[in-house]
Amino acid sequence: MTTKAKLTGRVIFRGDPGYEEARKNWDPHTDRYPKVFVFAKRTADVVNAIRWARQNNVPIRPRGGRHALEVNLSQVNGGLVIDVSNLNTIHLNKNKRTVVVGTGNRVGRIVNTLGRQGFIAPFGDSPSVGIGGITPGGGIGPLQRTTGLISDNLLALEMVDAKGTVIRASKKRNADLLWATRGGGGGNFGVYTKYKFKVRRAPVRATVFQVTWPWEQFEKVVRRWQDWAPHTSTKLGSELSVGPKKGGNVSMLGMYLGSKQEALRLLQPILSVGTPTQITVRYLPYLKATKFMLAPDPLLTQRFSNQFSSGFGKRPFPARAYRVMREFLEKAEGGTPAGFFFLNWGGAISRIAPRATAFYWRKAQYYVEWNSSWVKPSHAARNIALARNTRKKLQPYIIGSYINVPDQGIKCSGPVYYGKNYSRLRKVKAKYDPGNVFNNPQSIPPAKKR
């Protein structure tokens, strides 16, 4: 007879003190009313939570840093949220050049801890994103052309599967699970509790840069950026943002793992376009440089709800794509964040074969995402439609989509997120979660038995 499972860890049912705080995600649009939250303090709490949920027929959602960008991913009405945020140990092994982190850590904390000891941890554009979710999706950011994606550095993991069994994966055992976790997306196979990454020495100093242009020059700047950024030194990462017509501008933020003089030389093609209104280039101690890149992004003060969509560019946008961009930027509300974001591709990411890990979209020149946001719930529908219609119009000029910046408007999304890796991912899913216990609106369904 199976013993009755009991919830352990910090358990918060609907109506308990702390429930409202527990259900606040970064994006208010993703907040739901789960039946219960379990804040796991140890792996055993995750085991108990999975067993309890299955015995009580309650849907499960794993949660790390609460930064999900679509609904019903890390929370669901009536469900059990297994929140790993208290699993936040960090063990750096300087000799072996590895770090083992609890999946509840936020990216910024890992960057800081490693940076203080002279090591690089790759990061994106927000320090408060959880390592729990960003890793299995890929993990893109300004260092990726040197370090690869966050998931390219994943060497091993610990996960609790649908039966409540703790399993480990590395190149030597359960290698298919490691493969799938390097790009297959969170919430698909089980609840990750530990990740082991390889790390590399940080330079003593690095150059950071920030440049802004008037909004009216966006077309010129994007055009030059698309010709320049994917082909410049792979030690240079560049994020280009274009805001809405109402109140927005064009801004570029980036990092170069080298001297200021070299950075200025490399930046010349982009600095000479249009009339920048502000140019900052600073050569800083590495840790300070990471702080420059990672402005504080506190979780509970975020007021804006968003609809994002994402893809990859294989070649520079043609004139027609700029018309789509302009239409979107003119229609975006203003007063709330909205716009386009580009990140240069190439280097370490493209040196890995598309089928070598679950992350397929390696041969692009740049990543692109756009988002529309709102405060009043009554504005949700039109902003969601704006972002999704823009996807339809941009479709001829982009490929794929990034699972960490998902869009539930995408139909038959598997091949869009995973390209030719989708069928293998379905097989891995069938092995580790044949009953599809871990599911969400766009999760990977198990392959059918033949």
- Of 155, 149, 201, 194, whose CA–CA distance to 174 is shortest? 155
> Least distance in Å: CB of 387 to ligand FAD?
15
Residue 286 lies near ligand FAD (rule: CB under 6 A)? no
Of residues 346 through 375, those in contact with ligand FAD by CB under 6 A are none
Sorted by sequence, the CB contacts under 8 Å of residue 291 that are 6+ apart come out as none
Of residues 111 through 140, those in contact with ligand FAD by CB under 6 A are 124-126, 129-130, 132-134, 137-140
Burial of 9 (0-12, 13-18, 19+ CB in 10 A): buried
Stretch that binds ligand FAD, among 8-16, 186-194, 344-352, 415-423 (CB under 6 A): 186-194
> Least distance in Å: CB of 126 to ligand FAD?
4
The token pair at 144 is 């990726």
Compute how many residues bind ligand FAD; rule: CB under 6 A: 36
Sorted by sequence, the CB contacts under 8 Å of residue 175 that are 6+ apart come out as 169
Sorted by sequence, the CB contacts under 8 Å of residue 83 that are 6+ apart come out as 22, 37, 38, 39, 40, 63, 64, 104
> Least distance in Å: CB of 68 to ligand FAD?
3
> Least distance in Å: CB of 147 to ligand FAD?
13
Of residues 24 through 53, those in contact with ligand FAD by CB under 6 A are 25-26
Name residue, tokens 């823009």: 390
> Least distance in Å: CB of 269 to ligand FAD?
24
> Least distance in Å: CB of 432 to ligand FAD?
12
Which of 59, 65, 254, 346 is the binder for ligand FAD (CB under 6 A)? 65
| Nearer CB in complex with ligand FAD: 159/263 | 159
The whole-angstrom distance between residue 57's C-alpha and the CA centroid of its chain comes to 30
> Least distance in Å: CB of 28 to ligand FAD?
12
CA angle 82/85/89 to nearest 5° reads 125
The span from the CA of 101 to the CA of 30, in Å, is: 26
Residue 237 lies near ligand FAD (rule: CB under 6 A)? no
Question: Quick check: 85 and 107 in contact, CB under 8 A?
Answer: no
> Least distance in Å: CB of 142 to ligand FAD?
8
| Nearer CB in complex with ligand FAD: 130/274 | 130
Give kind and range of the element (H or E) at residue 253. strand 249-256
The span from the CA of 193 to the CA of 135, in Å, is: 12
The span from the CA of 144 to the CA of 152, in Å, is: 9
The span from the CA of 420 to the CA of 424, in Å, is: 8
| Nearer CB in complex with ligand FAD: 124/248 | 124
Positive/negative CA dihedral, 430, 435, 436, 438: negative
> Least distance in Å: CB of 99 to ligand FAD?
17
Residue 102 lies near ligand FAD (rule: CB under 6 A)? no
Which of 23, 54, 67, 182 is the binder for ligand FAD (CB under 6 A)? 67
Residue 230 lies near ligand FAD (rule: CB under 6 A)? no
The whole-angstrom distance between residue 259's C-alpha and the CA centroid of its chain comes to 29
Residue 405 lies near ligand FAD (rule: CB under 6 A)? yes
Residue 84 lies near ligand FAD (rule: CB under 6 A)? yes
Per CB under 6 A, residues contacting ligand FAD are 25-26, 61-69, 73-74, 84, 103, 124-126, 129-130, 132-134, 137-141, 186-187, 191-192, 297, 404-405, 440
